[in-house]
Structure 1
């Protein structure tokens, strides 16, 4: 089977990490979480510029200088694994790239993904459940989201993934536990 790269997208707190780890475990994929890969150096870069290490939303320095570096690092690590024949789950929102219709085709060309199957799995959930989960995780980086919850939700609703030439599947993660059968059906893989 050709290696697969799953772009696991969804709002902060939607359960991307839970689903990504399940996919990695169930299918023996490499699991790459942007936060784990990048948060240490991102926090340091932000501090060196006089920002909070948790400041992402609304931070011009992060958006203009750091964000692309984070995603490039994540994709370079993913490509290394894919070239070894290992399938990869990428756990990152990718929200800022949704409007780039040619995003996947540019990655195919850049990394020569002739024998790699890209797939988008979008994690969705009820916004009331999302708010509860974010409150329960109590991360400092979510403070600005709670300060303007309606604006945060509106931003999620307005951001549609417009990538071309890639299948976009959805999985609802509103339940308290992930239904493995639903996950398998969404991925259409034979276990």
Structure 2
């Protein structure tokens, strides 16, 4: 059944386009340029854009992100959804901005704004310290320097929460390699499930949880230790649902990092169920088929109040708010030309 969007106001999209006197044809070309720069999967044809402005077609997640970059507005200001707390202030708007010089001082400001999505999840962590560490890695990387002492950043969250997008942003800033569970282990996991008389795309059965998943995460962590032993900071991208729920696992992880003189940051990316569902449907991965078919059952089993045991940070990506800031920072770092 198609989902409703009661807060959607398509007139605002048209009003923002007309405000800067941008013809539909030129809008299409600029959206295509944005899509190419960010890797968005959109066709940006005339009929689709017209449908978005008339309210007959609700824009998908990549279209909405592209519109936000085009008009320098967040999703709430473009009428796609309600505003989250703190989103009332307008984003800087420049009618058809000229390309920026990548060396301009607004780059650190844009990066800091995107990293401001990271907030303390517990009182014994300092988001300012983590943000400074990432900023320092970015600055040293862009000037040819290097960091002393490796860091390990765990980025976790439910499927479709935006954790991989945020991990990629941190990796792009710092130059730290990203070890994603799916890309690192999926081919082996699929074949192992088949060899055990299961289904390749199964991620919900007892067979997967008891026989395969522990090996999957062990491979991920062993790869991380290999990097750390070489002094290479590493970002781990995986749900970490079970691991973050276990105080003993988290304590062992911190102890091992401490013994190797490695700094640790655990980040939980939170998101609302409807946004997670939209992104899961959009990516169309075979491993998500069961989630989509039995969505109500799947969501009922999620503990949306889950937070990692021990020191951790939280990124609020409800309604895609944090990813929107990431897109804005990427635009500034790439020159921001439309």
Please give the TM-score of this superposition, normalised by the length of structure 2. 0.49
Separation of aligned partners in 2, 1:159 and 1:79: 30
Match of 1:82 in 2: 228
Contact 1:121 1:171 in 2 (8 A): no
Shift of 1:180: 3.5
Rounded to whole Å, the distance in 2 between the matches of 1:158 and 1:132 is 17
Instruction: Measure the CA separation in 2 of the matches of 1:120 and 1:36.
Output: 20
Residue 34, structure 1, aligned to residue 181, structure 2: yes
Asked whether the equivalents of residues 153 and 234 of structure 2 are also in contact (C-alpha less than 8 Å), the reply is yes
Q: Distance in 2 between matches of 1:115 and 1:6?
A: 14
2:282 is the counterpart of 1:136: yes
Q: Tell me the equivalent position of 1:167.
A: 312
Q: Indicate the residue corresponding to 2:267 in structure 1.
A: 121
Mind listing any 5+ residue stretches in structure 2 that lack a counterpart?
1-147, 330-338
Aligned-CA RMSD value: 2.4
**Structure number with higher relative contact order (C-alpha < 8 Å, ≥ 6 residues apart):** 1
SS in 2 for 1:175: helix
C-alpha separation between the residues in 1 aligned to 2:318 and 2:179? 20
Match of 1:2 in 2: 149
Matched, 1:149 2:318: no
Partner of residue 61, structure 1: 207
User: Is the Cα contact below 8 Å between 2:161 and 2:317 reproduced in 1?
Assistant: no
**CA apart distance, 1:126:** 2.6
Number of aligned residue pairs: 181
What is the deviation of 1:38? 0.5
Q: Secondary structure at the match of 1:160?
A: coil
Query: In 2 relative to 1, CA 109–126 (structure 1 residues): closer, same or farther, beyond 3 Å?
Result: closer
Per-residue CA deviations over 1:4-56 (Å, capped at 9, x if unaligned) read 21111111112222111111110111100000111011001001112111001
Q: Secondary structure at the match of 1:98?
A: helix
Partner residue in 1 for 2:193: 46
- Mapped to 2, the partners of 1:67 and 1:127 lie a distance apart of 24
> Structure 1 residues 78-87 or 170-179, which shifts more?
170-179
Contact 2:257 2:263 in 1 (8 A): no
Give the superposition deviation at 1:109: 3.7
C-alpha separation between the residues in 1 aligned to 2:229 and 2:185?
21
Separation in 2, partners of 1:125, 1:33: 19
In structure 1, stretches of 5+ residues that fail to align are 184-191
Structure 2 equivalent of residue 188 of structure 1 = none
Distance in 2 of aligned mates of 1:112 and 1:118: 9
Deviations 1:120-157 (A, max 9, x none): 11112232222111111112221221233223223333
Which is richer in strand?
Answer: 1
**TM-score, normalization by structure 1:** 0.83
Change (3 A) 1:157 1:64: closer
Deviation digits for residues 48-75 of structure 1 (CA, Å, limit 9, x no counterpart): 1121110011x22211111111111101
- Which whole-Å CA distance do the structure 1 matches of 2:305 and 2:193 have between them? 25
- Pair member with larger Rg: 2
- Would you say the 8 A contact 2:181–2:238 is kept in 1? yes
Given candidates 144, 153, 160, the residue that maps to 1:13 is 160
